[in-house]
Amino acid sequence: MKNLHTTLGALCVAVSFGFVAQTVKADDWASLAVKRIKSPPLGLPSVPIPADNQVTKQKLELGKKLFFDSRLSKNNALSCAGCHIPDQGFTNNHVATTIGVAGEFLARNAPTILNVAYQRTLFHDARETTLENQVYGPLLSKLEMGNPSIGWIIQTINGSEDYWGKFEKAFGEPVNVRNIGQAIATYERSLISANSPFDKWHFGKQQSAVSEDVKLGFKLFKGKGQCARCHLVKPNTALFSDQKLHDTGFVTAKKNADTGRMGVTGRGADKFRFKTPTLRNIALTAPYMHNGQLKTLASVVAFYNQGSKRDNKRKMPVLHLSDKEQALIVEFLKSLNGDNVQALIIEASKP
Ligand code: HEC
Ligand code: HEC
């Protein structure tokens, strides 16, 4: 076949074929998702991808199917998307902490999956390091999806006709403990969202993309409010997170308090330290903080304004922001919604 293409006629056919194939492809969400991962929207750096899990359309399609499949929970009632709900900012806006298969509230608020591709560590206490491995947390947790074992999950998938051949197509091998994580991680990696009004103004230099209030709010965010110390903005991109853990003074010491990172390391120095979350799409992902105790952005800013009153080891200064200044910071935070969130929601609803 290849030799034929050396003649001009065959080349023309190949070119026009290529064009037809592309216009068909443009409607196909997985092709668009591959493109998005390869060239992220304005404001985001390149997407880190593990060498042994390159992005393909087949993995994306399979990963999405798994993410939305409630048969992957013990009572067939809860999928990943049951707690990370697409049209609620890929989190759950209605509860402070989500509810698992056992009908019990979990201890923590579900973080958004939007832009999770960039997180160097996962969970509020940074106890996991790759998306590929993270999926087994919720799948196996008794409180979350409640599967008794990985073998059980593999059996469920093997027993479902609609999965037949799909792992073979995506990975060249049957479903196993590794490729379930690889497929879901690939889908999660495609949920990137930026080119927000803020990005268009700050990185794209479009002066009219945001209001004067947003511009003033950003100035306070970097300056008097000291927010950018932890919610980092780099010269050409911004994740709004330093990817580190901090004690913001939010948890007050009481019996059964969530000690954050200390629960992982056992070290006193890690007490009450939580991972700095991204602030992208923050207006879509209420309620806030690791336990969802703050319902509005205004209440988060008011919290920071007080500084950490409890003890001076927690280095959060009193900010002395006026009510007007706090409102300006909130306006700025509202400018961080990516322009493709609606498209991602629609994409999520497609088979
Ligand atoms: C019962 C609700 C629930 C279900 C079901 C659930 N999650 Fe989560 N998810 C959470 C909560 C709560 C956290 C935070 C837990 C913590 O920090 O200890 C979380 C954390 C995460 C994180 C870390 C995000 C970050 O920024 O650190 C990822 C990724 C994630 N979940 C993906 C998934 C995937 C994939 C599935 C399905 C296999 C899933 N979740 C199922 C509630 C849920
Ligand atoms: C010392 C580092 C640090 C500084 C300074 C800081 N933050 Fe945070 N921020 C964090 C950490 C860590 C969390 C997670 C706390 C938790 O879950 O208990 C957080 C959480 C948040 C949240 C909630 C995110 C979510 O998804 O629930 C918002 C909103 C926020 N910060 C905005 C701000 C603003 C606005 C300022 C400045 C007034 C600021 N932060 C200053 C580290 C910081």
121 CA: nearest ligand 1 atom: 27
pLDDT tens, residue order, the chain (351 aa): 334 333 333 333 333 343 444 444 456 999 999 999 999 999 999 999 999 999 999 999 999 999 999 999 999 999 999 999 999 999 999 999 999 988 889 999 999 999 999 999 999 999 999 999 999 999 999 999 999 999 999 999 999 999 999 999 999 999 999 999 999 999 999 999 999 999 999 999 999 999 999 999 999 999 999 999 999 999 999 999 999 999 999 998 788 899 999 999 999 999 999 999 999 999 999 999 999 999 999 999 999 999 866 554 567 899 999 999 999 999 999 999 999 999 999 999 887
Q: What is the DSSP letter of 350?
A: -
Count the domains in the chain. 2
For 250, counting Cβ atoms within 10 Å of its Cβ (0-12 exposed, 13-18 middle, 19+ buried), the class is buried
Query: What type of residue sits at position 6?
Result: T
Which of 122, 295, 304 should be mutated for ligand 2, with most atoms under 8 A from CB?
A: 304
Query: What type of residue sits at position 124?
Result: H
144 CA: nearest ligand 1 atom: 1
Q: Are residues 124 and 212 in the same domain?
A: no
What is the residue whose two structure tokens read 């992902």?
285
Q: Give 8 Cα–ligand 1 centroid separation in angstroms.
A: 54
Q: Is residue 15 part of a domain?
A: no
Q: Give 277 Cα–ligand 2 centroid separation in angstroms.
A: 7
Output the six-digit token pair for 24: 């068909």
The answer to whether the CB of 214 is under 6 A from ligand 1 is no
Q: Are residues 166 and 256 in the same domain?
A: no
Q: Which residue among 192, 209, 235 closes a domain? A: 192
Q: Which ligand is nearest to the CA of 70?
A: 1
CATH number, residue 52: 1.10.760.10
Q: Are residues 152 and 283 in the same domain?
A: no
Q: Which ligand is nearest to the CA of 305?
A: 2
Domain that holds residue 224: 197-336
Q: Is residue 283 part of a domain?
A: yes
245 CA: nearest ligand 2 atom: 12
Q: Are residues 69 and 203 in the same domain?
A: no
The answer to whether the CB of 106 is under 6 A from ligand 1 is yes
State the pTM of this model.
0.92
Q: Are residues 94 and 243 in the same domain?
A: no
Q: Are residues 51 and 186 in the same domain?
A: yes
CA distances (Å), 45 to each of 119, 201, 213, 233, 236, in order? 12, 17, 27, 12, 8
Q: Are residues 158 and 59 in the same domain?
A: yes
For residue 317, whether the previous peptide bond is cis, meaning omega lies within 30 degrees of 0, is: no
Residue 320: its pLDDT value, please?
95
Q: Are residues 178 and 205 in the same domain?
A: no
Rg of the chain over Cα atoms, rounded to whole angstroms, equals 22
Q: Which ligand is nearest to the CA of 221?
A: 2
Q: Which residues, 6 or more positions from 74, have their beta carbon under 8 angstroms from its beta carbon?
A: 101, 145, 146, 147, 148
Torsion-angle region of residue 272: left (phi > 0), alpha (psi -120 to 50) or beta? left
Output the six-digit token pair for 269: 């120095």
